[in-house]
Amino acid sequence: MTNYLWIAVSWLWVGIPLAWGISQTIAKVAILFH
């Protein structure tokens, strides 16, 4: 159980900044298709 929790924490550690970066990029991409 601890192992799976640790896996989730690890992926969130890298996933949250990446998701934030992608969302910032998509916001710029949206301008292209306006």
The DSSP output letter for 33 is T
Binding mask 5-24 for another protein (x = CB under 8 A): -xx--xx-xx--xx-xxx-x
Length of the chain: 34
Of residues 15, 11, 34, the one with CA closest to residue 26: 34
Minimum distance, C-beta of residue 26 to another protein, in the bound complex (Å): 7
Is residue 31 close enough to count as binding another protein by CB under 8 A? Answer: yes
Euclidean distance between CA atoms 34 and 25, whole angstroms: 15
Where do contacts with another protein occur on this chain (CB under 8 A)? 3-4, 6-7, 10-11, 13-14, 17-18, 20-22, 24-26, 28-34
